[in-house]
Amino acid sequence: MSIAGAPPTISVTMATYNVAPYVAASVESVLSQSFTDFEFIIVDDGSTDNTRKILQHYADQDTRIRLVFKSQNGGLAAARNDAIVIARGDWVTFLDGDDIFRKDMLEKAVSAGQAADADMVLWDFTTFSDETAISTSSTSSRLATIDGDDRSALLALPAFAWTRLIRRDALLQHKIQFANGLTYQDVPPHWVQMTALNKIALVSERLVFYRQQPNATTAKTSWKRADYFHILDQVAEYLRTSGLEQVYGDILVQRQLEAWAGVYDIIDPDLKPRVLDMITNRYSATHTEYIRSNKPLRWRARTFFKALNGQTSAKLALALWTNTRQLYRWLSKIAVTA
């Protein structure tokens, strides 16, 4: 596709893969934005359903759409990285092929970014599973209580790429890319953005609707859950090479402990020994010291590691918690079928 004229203000990028039932709603949520000075880069990652036919239909009607059809599936991260390379806008944002922008999202975001002369703009989201139940009315946002200069608080926010608008120059300057081949690929760039960018503006509104799908990767108990270990390894390397370990080390240790315990808890039982090996290979005296302190840590994670280190009371507490949860789930199933 030939490109003429001045670069647009925003490059909206979307990665798609076999999302035919949902992609039309996602595309239309972009094309119907109140702010119109954007290009819409859609990288289809080797879909085998009707996704490409649907995308081509919209591209034939709207010249702002730039389609890239990949011959083989390379993963969400690779598709997003490909889109960044060809983006022309002053700003770049992301959307998955099954999620939906609020109609004024781009307008709200770019106005906030320009007014604050920011490198990045953050906004909130809400979840949905049924498009007919989406509410476009404004609801309270966790961002209303956060200071944009409090980087520790910003790091605690979900890492979803579609909750931010970033200056393209900043993306290129800091070489921000998504983690290829891994689930949770949003996390390493999230850490770079929150710790390296200069000014971050906040829009305390829920501007994206995040579709909940039971078959999504993050809803499964397969070995892909263990990708989180490698993702946090990348974050640790970034902090080390950037000289930021002293500043953000405690936050990383907290994330590691909570993520490791969480993966062990949810992954298939036959995979738990492998996860335990991964924990053992990464666990250090720093983690023990953190657990023994009064620093922030979820009860489940603190109890898990105390039990792992042989504390009898922690083992009993963990067993009671696990059995209670199983009983609750069993009773809930009975209630649903009754």
- The string of pLDDT tens digits covering residues 98-149 is 999 999 999 999 999 999 999 999 999 998 877 766 765 557 799 999 999 9
Per the document, the length of the chain is 338
> What is the C-alpha separation between 330 and 311, in angstroms, rounded?
29
What's the average pLDDT block by block, 10 residues per block, for the chain (338 residues)?
A: 74 96 96 98 96 98 97 93 96 96 97 98 90 66 92 96 97 94 95 97 95 65 94 98 96 98 95 97 97 94 94 91 82 72
pLDDT for residue 208: 96
3-state secondary structure of 209: strand
Structure confidence at residue 128 (pLDDT): 87
Angle at 167 between CA 68 and CA 165, to 5 degrees: 75
Q: Where are the alpha helices (DSSP H) in 133-244?
A: 151-155, 168-173, 187-196, 227-241
Distance separating alpha carbons of residues 287 and 207, to the nearest angstrom: 37
Q: What is the pLDDT of residue 254?
A: 98
Query: Reading across the β-sheet that carries 91-96, which strands appear in turn?
Result: 65-69, 38-44, 10-16, 91-96, 164-167, 120-128, 200-211, 100-101
pLDDT of residue 333: 73
Rounded-to-integer distance, Cα 184 and Cα 137, Å: 29
Write the DSSP symbol of residue 8. Answer: P
What pLDDT score does 157 carry?
95
pLDDT digits (tens, 9 = 90+) for 288-323: 999 999 899 999 999 999 999 999 999 999 889 888
Sequence-ordered list of residues with C-beta below 8 angstroms from that of 117, at least 6 positions apart, any chain: 199
pLDDT score, position 2: 40
Please return the burial class of 241, using the count of CB atoms within 10 Å of its CB with bins 0-12, 13-18 and 19+. exposed
Could you tell me the two tokens for 113?
A: 């970014």
Instruction: With H, G, I as helix, E, B as strand and everything else as coil, classify residue 90.
Output: coil
d(CA 101, CA 120): 18
